[in-house]
Structures are given as structure tokens and as C-alpha cells.
Structure 1
Amino acid sequence: MDQHIAEAIGRPDLIRLDDRLICLRFESMKVASALAAVRHLLDTGVVRRGDTLLDSSSGIYAHALALACHRHGMRCHIVGSTTVDHTLRVQLALLGATLEQMEPCSDLKLDQKRRVERIHEILAEHPEYHWMRQYHDDIHYLGYRAVAEQIRRSTGEERLTIVGGVGSGASTGALARYLREDSPDVGLVGVQPFGSVTFGAEHVADPEIIIAGIGSSIPFGNVGHASYDTLHWISFDAALAGSVDLLRRHAVFAGLSTGAGYLAARWERSRAPERTVLFIAADTGHRYVDSVYARHREAAAVDSLAPLPVTSPAELALPWSRMCWNRAAGAEPVSARQCDQPHFVGGDHELDPVPGAQLGEQP
């Protein structure tokens, strides 16, 4: 029996949508990483019960950290994006978290920059606060070991490809790392929005939106580039089509990043008939009722969509591009070789160690 609601929220469900397509569905994915990170900090004596944990968030991580602090008797201080909505503000208040929300801003890069500046101001005023550095500290990998073990138990000997948003690198990178301990040929497909700097798409703007949570306008320190075999850049419109189809076809009501992951997963499954493809549903669809699901009549048929194959970030184009990354450690892929068949070469690569956070890095 769970001792706190956070433990239940952080544990995902595995749903087999067909014989080779699995959905790893979270109510709120970052709860798993926040819980494990806070527990580790307490166990190692870095923080004590009653200390204040600090971080910046556009919403989901704020809720996750507030829950973890509630579970372990910590104080929580969040510098929130303009995107934090009323529902979350009320929950944070009742959970005892302090929220400083940025003034409205249409430029997400400027919003992140202002949050970074405020984090440093707070640390100067309160050096006793512990900065969680969700975008830089690989402590946030720890919570996904149990998820990887759950996947391994449920899928057995199936050859797996994991598909999910890159984001800070913690969820997809961690799952690949832990699953590859036993099965080095586990494939990892990262999903990015156009405009994200992480894999060099900052020069291509999506006229609708940068999909929050799977990309960034600033560099993230805990993305292990060498973990990824293939990348998909997916626009808002294409992700909307994926989200709508996922609900219609499989009754899974999930967020916009899940629609993007589902679209990429369907494509990868079609290219590798010997593999089972598992995609991550990081959160539910409630935040997207008006912006996505109410526009279901605008959704393109997913079977009519296909990615543009590219060999360099310079070739990226809306609405959907796909590139073989080949577990390259830097900002460019190792080569432009095909990654369709064989799909992944697995054991020919070493795992990329995730860079740890350094003092003074930006969130």
C-alpha cells in the first residue's frame, strides 16, 4: 500500500495498444524523478527535513516537487513560468509551496531567462536553499530505474524501441540507460519541437507553439546526446493530429507531447517489424482540452502524415522531420547512414555518461 499520493501518481501504467505498440502512461511523469531525487538528497545528508528546495518550472515539475516536499516534510519554493495556470496555483498553495510567477510574456526564451535570473537572486538572499537543478543534475535519472524494471518485467524478451520527448533528458535518457544494462540493443528515439536548441533546431520556428516539456530554448546539462539513435522534430499541428488520433483510436487522453510521441512511435513501428515500440505519455490531456482537443475537427489524418528524412539539422522543415542521430555525443550526428534496417546497432556503442551539474550552471 502506498504511504503518500505522490507514490501512486508517479507509478505509470503499461497499456498494450496492439501487438507491437505499448503506451507507458503517467498521470504526471516528473513525480517519479522528483520523489527519488528528494529521497536521495535526504539519504545522503545533502538536505534535512524542513529545508527549502528551490527550482524553476513551467508547471509539471512544480507540482512534482511540491508533492515530493509534502511527502518528505520539506519546504518548496518555485519560480514559475507565465504558463502556470489557476488549477496548479491553487494546488501549490494548498500543498504549502511558495510560487513566484513571472509576469505574462509571449517569448518563452525571455521567460526562461527571467526565471534563471530570479533563481540566482533568491540563492544570493538564501544560500541555505537547495537548488534542485532539474535541467542539469543527473540525480533526476534515479526515479526511472523502477520504471525500467517494470517495463522489463512486462515485456520480457521483446526487442524494444523507446520513444519519448527529450526534454531535460531525464526520462528517456534514464530509461535507455537502465534498460541497456541488460539489453544493449534497446533503441531510443527522441522527440523534439521545432525551435529547441538541444539538437540544433533553434533556427526553425513553429508558428503555433514550442511544445513545453520536450524541448528548450536554453541548453540543458543532463541531456546525454549519445543515448539517442533517432530524432523526430514534430510541429504543434502534427502533434495535435497524434493526440486526437490516440484518443479516438485507443481512448488514451494525454498531453500534447504524447501526441507527438505517438506519431513518432507509429512511424518507427512501421520501419522495424521485428521490434516492439513503447512511447511515453508524460501527463494527462486535461490542460489541453481547449488548445488541442476542442480543435479535433482541424486534425489531419495521421496516415496522411510522414516525416521528411534529413541528414543535418540545417535541413529541418515543418511539420515533421526525422534524422538518424546514431548516438553521437556532440551537436551533430556521427554520420548520415540509414537507421531503418537494421534499426539499431546497440552493442557497438558505449553509453554516454550524463554530465553532472556544476555550480553556477543555469537552470
Structure 2
Amino acid sequence: MDHHISETFSRPALIRLDDHTTCVRFETMKVASALAAVRHLLQRGVIAPGDTLVDSSSGMYAHALALACHRYGLGCRIVASTTVDTTLRVQLEILGAVVDSVPPGGDLRLDQALRVARVQEILRTEPRHYWMRQYHDDIHYLGYRPITEMIRRELGEQPLTIVGGVGTGASTGALATYLRDAALDVALVGVQPFESVTFGSDHVRDPEIIIAGIGSAIPFANVRHSLYDTVHWVGFDAAQAGSIALLREHAIFAGLSTGGAYLAAGFERRLAPGRHVLFLAPDTGHRYVDAAFTRPSSALAVRDLRPHQITAPAEMRLPWSRMRWNGSPAPVPAVAPPVTTDGPPGRLPGARSRR
């Protein structure tokens, strides 16, 4: 029996769609990483009850961190993106989180940079605040280890292809790392939106980009590019088609990043029928209802979609492109500068807890 809802949310449902495809379906995926990261920091004495954890978020991580802080009796402060809607904001505030809204910067790059800058301002004046650094710290990989154990119990030792949105790299990167450490044959396929620097799609504009959470306009230090074998770049129109098809065909209501992963998973399954494909569904579709689900008749048909096969990022184009990544290093704009600190990595130089 669970003692807190965060523990329930941290475990996905594994749903077999056919003999060679499984959906790893979460209510809200980042609870797995936030809960394990907070527990690890408490066990090491890096943070203590009474401290406040702070981070920037476009939505899912904000909810995850607020739940983890509620579970362990910690304060929570979120520097919120404009994509944090009323439904989420109400939950955050009732859970006890302080929500700081940063005015829109005019584009995604500036919005993300302004939010990180605001976090650093807070740390300079609040010595008992700890920055969780969801974009930078590998500690967020830890929560996915138990999920790899679930996968091994259910699917055994067969060759696997993992498909999912990259985001900070914690989910897909962690699953591949832990399964490969167990000597499994694992291919890793990352899904990205256009306009993201992480895998070099920032030069392609998607007029309806709202696929929050799986791309970035700033470098993410905890994406390990060398883990990825293949990358799919999926635009809004293609991701919408995937999300609607997943709901229609399998009754799974999930967000746009899941729609992109469903498309990519189907393509990879056809390419390598001897492998079992797992794709990640990190959240439900509720936040995308108005934007993606209310006009199903106008959506593209999945059966008509194929990715543009490319050999370099300069060749990519909407609505869907695919390239063998082969463990290549990060593109130059995606290389994060080092974060220097005299103390623990979540605190700025000179900041110390008063316990």
C-alpha cells in the first residue's frame, strides 16, 4: 500500500499494444525523478526538513516537485512558465508551493533563460532554498531505476528499442543506461520538437509549437547525447495525428510528446520487427485538449505520414524527420557551460543552510 499519492504516480502502467509494442504510461512521469532525487538529497544530508526546493518548470516538473516536497515536508517554490495553466497553478498553490510568474520574454529561448535567471536571483537572497537543477543534474536519473526492473520482469531479456521525448534526458537516458548496465540489447530513439537546440533543430520553425517539455531553447547539461542511436523530430501536426490515433486505436489519452513517440515507435517497429518497442507516455492529454483534441477530423492521417530520412540536421523539415544519431556528441549550441559553486551544486557560492 502506498502512503502518498506521489509514490503511486512514480510507477507507470505497462500496456501491451501488440506482440511487439508496449506503452509505458504515466499519470505524470517526472514524479519518478523528483521523488527519488529529493529522497537521495535528504539521505545524504544535502537538504533537511524546513528547506525550500526551487526550480523552473513548464508544467510537469512543477507538479512533480510540489508532490515530492509535500511528501517529505519541504517548502516548494516554482518559477513558472507561461504554459502553467490555471488547473495546475491551483494544485500547486493548494499543495503549498509558491509560484513565481516570469513575464513572457517573446520567445522560448528568452523565456527559459529568464526563468533560470530568476531562480539564481532567489538563491542569492534565500540561503535555505535549494535549486533542484532539473535541466542540469544527473540525480534525476535515479528515479527510473525501479522502472527498468519492472520492464525486465514483464518483458524479459529480449532486444528492446526505447522511444521517447528527450527533454532533460533523464527518462529515456536513464532507462537505456540502466538496461544496458544489465547487459540488455537496447536501442535508444529520442523524440524532439522542431526549434530545439538539444539535437540541432533550432533552425526549423514550427508555427504551432506547443510540445512542452521535450525540447529546449537553452542547453540541458544532463542530456547524454552519446546514448542515442536515432532521433526523430516531430512537429505539432504529426504529433497531433499520433495522439489522436493512440486514443482512437488504443483508448490511451496522452499528450503531444506521446503522440510523437507513438509515431516514431510505429516506424521503428516496422524497420526492426525482431525487436520489442517501448514508447513513453509521460502525461495525460488534458492540457492539450483545446489545442490538439477538439478538431480530430482535421488532423493528419497517421497512415499517410512517413519521416523524411536525413543524414544531417541541415536537411530536416516539417512535419517529421528522422536521422541516425549513432552516439554523436552534442551540437555546439547544446553544450551547457559548467556551473561553478563553492558549496553543494544546488546553492550559489556563499549560500549555506541555517539548520
TM range (shorter): over 0.9
Distance (whole Å) between structure 1 residues aligned to residue 93 and residue 116 of structure 2: 22
2:339 maps to which residue? Answer: 358
Distance (whole Å) between structure 1 residues aligned to residue 12 and residue 233 of structure 2: 25
- Give the drift of 1:288: 1.1
Question: More displaced, 242-251 or 180-189?
Answer: 180-189
1:205 maps to which residue? Answer: 205
Q: Deviations over 1:116-167 (max 9, x none)?
A: 2211111111133110000000000000000111111110132110000000
Question: Closer, same or farther in 2 for the Cα pair 1:198/1:184, shift >3 Å?
Answer: same
Q: Deviations over 1:291-345 (max 9, x none)?
A: 111021111111110000111111111111000011123439xxxxxxxxxxxxx
1:335 maps to which residue? Answer: none
Secondary structure of the equivalent of 1:237?
helix
Distance (whole Å) between structure 2 residues aligned to residue 184 and residue 99 of structure 1: 42
1:327 maps to which residue? Answer: 327
1:50 maps to which residue? Answer: 50
Contact 1:58–1:81 (CA under 8 A) maintained in structure 2: yes
Contact 2:308–2:320 (CA under 8 A) maintained in structure 1: yes
Q: Which amino acid aligns with 1:290?
A: D
Contact 2:157–2:184 (CA under 8 A) maintained in structure 1: no
2:349 maps to which residue? Answer: none
Q: Deviations over 1:245-303 (max 9, x none)?
A: 00000100001100000000000000001001000000001111111110211111111
How many residue pairs end up in the alignment?
Answer: 341
Distance (whole Å) between structure 2 residues aligned to residue 359 and residue 59 of structure 1: 27
**What does residue range 58-97 of structure 1 map to in structure 2 within 5 Å?**
58-97=58-97
Distance (whole Å) between structure 1 residues aligned to residue 298 and residue 340 of structure 2: 47
Q: Deviations over 1:181-211 (max 9, x none)?
A: 1234201000000000001111111111151
2:151 maps to which residue? Answer: 151
Secondary structure of the equivalent of 2:181?
coil
Secondary structure of the equivalent of 1:149?
helix
Q: Which amino acid aligns with 2:339?
A: Q
Q: Deviations over 1:33-58 (max 9, x none)?
A: 00000000000000001111110001
1:341 maps to which residue? Answer: none
**What does residue range 118-267 of structure 1 map to in structure 2 within 5 Å?**
118-267=118-267
Report the TM-score, using the length of structure 2 for normalisation: 0.93
Distance (whole Å) between structure 2 residues aligned to residue 217 and residue 288 of structure 1: 21
Distance (whole Å) between structure 1 residues aligned to residue 288 and residue 295 of structure 2: 10
Contact 1:163–1:261 (CA under 8 A) maintained in structure 2: yes
Unmatched tracts of structure 2, length 5 or more: 347-355
- Give the drift of 1:103: 2.4
Contact 1:78–1:97 (CA under 8 A) maintained in structure 2: yes
Residue 315 (structure 1) aligned with residue 315 (structure 2): yes
Distance (whole Å) between structure 2 residues aligned to residue 37 and residue 89 of structure 1: 23
- Give the drift of 1:357: 7.1
Q: Which amino acid aligns with 1:74?
A: L
Unmatched tracts of structure 1, length 5 or more: 333-354
Question: Closer, same or farther in 2 for the Cα pair 1:114/1:356, shift >3 Å?
Answer: closer
Contact 2:255–2:281 (CA under 8 A) maintained in structure 1: yes
Report the TM-score, using the length of structure 1 for normalisation: 0.91
Distance (whole Å) between structure 1 residues aligned to residue 218 and residue 43 of structure 2: 31
Distance (whole Å) between structure 2 residues aligned to residue 109 and residue 40 of structure 1: 31
Contact 1:84–1:101 (CA under 8 A) maintained in structure 2: no
1:339 maps to which residue? Answer: none
Question: More displaced, 166-175 or 151-160?
Answer: 151-160
Q: Which amino acid aligns with 1:306?
A: R
Distance (whole Å) between structure 2 residues aligned to residue 261 and residue 168 of structure 1: 16
Distance (whole Å) between structure 2 residues aligned to residue 120 and residue 260 of structure 1: 33
Q: Which amino acid aligns with 2:95?
A: L
Cα RMSD over matched residues?
A: 1.8
1:302 maps to which residue? Answer: 302
Distance (whole Å) between structure 1 residues aligned to residue 123 and residue 338 of structure 2: 16
Distance (whole Å) between structure 2 residues aligned to residue 300 and residue 106 of structure 1: 29
1:8 maps to which residue? Answer: 8
Distance (whole Å) between structure 2 residues aligned to residue 286 and residue 80 of structure 1: 19
Question: Closer, same or farther in 2 for the Cα pair 1:110/1:201, shift >3 Å?
Answer: same
- Give the drift of 1:216: 0.3
Q: Which amino acid aligns with 2:232?
A: H
Q: Which amino acid aligns with 2:35?
A: L
Q: Which amino acid aligns with 1:185?
A: D
